[in-house]
Amino acid sequence: MSQSTDHQESTFDIAIVVCTYNPKQEIFVRLLDAINKLRYDQPERIECIIVDNNSTPALKDIPYVVELLDKCPFKASIYVEKEQGLTFARIAGVQNTSAPVVIFFDDDNEPDPEYLKGIQEAIKQHEFVGIWGPGQINVDFLGKIPSKIEGHLLGTFQQRNHNQTRFANTLSFTEAHPYGTGMVCKREALKNYLTAIEQQALSASDRKGNSLASAGDTQILLSAINQGWAVGTSPLLKLNHIIPPSRTTSKYIKRLAFSTSMTGNIAKIEIFPDTKKHVALPSNKYFIYKTCKIFMGEAISNNRYFAYIKLARYFGTVIGHYQILGKQVPKWMNRLAKMLGFVQ
């Protein structure tokens, strides 16, 4: 991260940054094809960079990737970021582009053809909003989903159907706060976040390899809010969130719930240290009582799936609090979390 992240005059309007690690072809090809279909009146003013975070094989050696990039109507390139992790990949994408607006597409996103025009309009109408996200997110499951958990999985994978623009400037997450999926950032609104990363002031982990930790999205939002920006969602921004069967298993969802809960408060406290005073640890007796209450409450309703999800969230919150307070997590608690499948 040696290059400057400060905004300089650019010949581009929007930078598309795609971060990926060993993408699945059936999904990634849909993103690349969707990028090629994005409409913009001056395509020469759009730059697109794919950040390859050490994929095997390298993206530059994969025929379908090269073919789709060759067809791209924008200035498109591949950049290899050797430092493993989504945070490093995103920063590499920002450093190697210059446009005043940056879109972060995940490799499982499929944006609507009007996404770029929607960004233009949203920014024009609400200049005080620094971070945007899609108000319309359609979760596209590639496998069959049991009806009793479909609603939960739709929420887990960020389904949204907002028909009105929403924005907020609060620390508490609301319907106006965008997810990382298809996140649109003014480069100015990224300034504090990028500086904090450069100074190693943020330690909350983000996705790395097979890790499901995902604090980066939260810290980008909170850093912008701390700068005075509002954040928002717009119905003009639409995309599909493509979810393969491997990400809908109980094993995966438990790990995701645990990791999200564990890193959420850590991310918030690193941006707003004063909130640390509200963090407390339960006694061992209360922790065991709460664990039994959560599990039995759902098990009595014959819903073991949700019992494990709720337990994963509770374990993640408590273990995250230990980390915030700089205290050693009890070995028995770590072993129990592993036995229940919340950590690998």
282-319: pLDDT as tens digits: 999 999 999 999 988 876 766 888 999 999 999 999 99
Give the range of the structural domain holding residue 330, as residue numbers without chain letter. 255-339
Which residue do the tokens 């990791």 mark?
Answer: 259
Q: Which of 200, 227, 248 is the last residue of a domain?
A: 248
> Do 306 and 167 belong together in one domain?
no
Please tell me the predicted confidence (pLDDT) of residue 252.
95
Residues 325-342: what's their mean pLDDT? 96
Residues 223-248: what's their mean pLDDT? 97
91 falls within a domain: yes
> Do 136 and 235 belong together in one domain?
yes
Residues 233-258: what's their mean pLDDT? 96
Please tell me the predicted confidence (pLDDT) of residue 208.
55
Burial letters for 244-276: b for 16+ Cβ neighbours within 10 Å, e otherwise? eeebbeeeebbbbbbbbbbbbbbbbbbbeeeee
Residues 203-220: what's their mean pLDDT? 68
54 falls within a domain: yes
Alpha-carbon distance values, 240 to 71, 117, 137 (Å): 22, 17, 6
> Do 190 and 284 belong together in one domain?
no
For residue 210, is pLDDT > 60?
Answer: no
Q: Which of 199, 223, 248 is the last residue of a domain?
A: 248
Phi, psi of 23, deg, nearest 5: -65, 150
> Do 101 and 207 belong together in one domain?
yes
CA distance 292 to 163: 41
Pairing of strands 109-111, 230-243: antiparallel
Residues 270-276: what's their mean pLDDT? 89
What six digits make up the tokens of 140?
């596209």
Coil vs helix vs strand at 2: coil
Cα 335 to chain centroid, rounded: 28
> Do 168 and 299 belong together in one domain?
no
Residues 8-32: what's their mean pLDDT? 95
Count CB neighbours of 55 within 10 A: 17
Please tell me the predicted confidence (pLDDT) of residue 297.
81
> Do 215 and 311 belong together in one domain?
no
Q: What is the number of domains present in the chain?
A: 2
9 falls within a domain: no
Please tell me the predicted confidence (pLDDT) of residue 216.
84
> Do 210 and 317 belong together in one domain?
no
Instruction: Give the HSE-up count for residue 284: Cα atoms under 13 Å, Cβ half-sphere.
Output: 6
CA distance 104 to 116: 12
- 199 pLDDT band, cuts 50/70/90, is confident
> Do 162 and 83 belong together in one domain?
yes
Please tell me the predicted confidence (pLDDT) of residue 281.
97
| CATH number of the domain that residue 209 is part of | 3.90.550.10
Residues 101-124: what's their mean pLDDT? 97
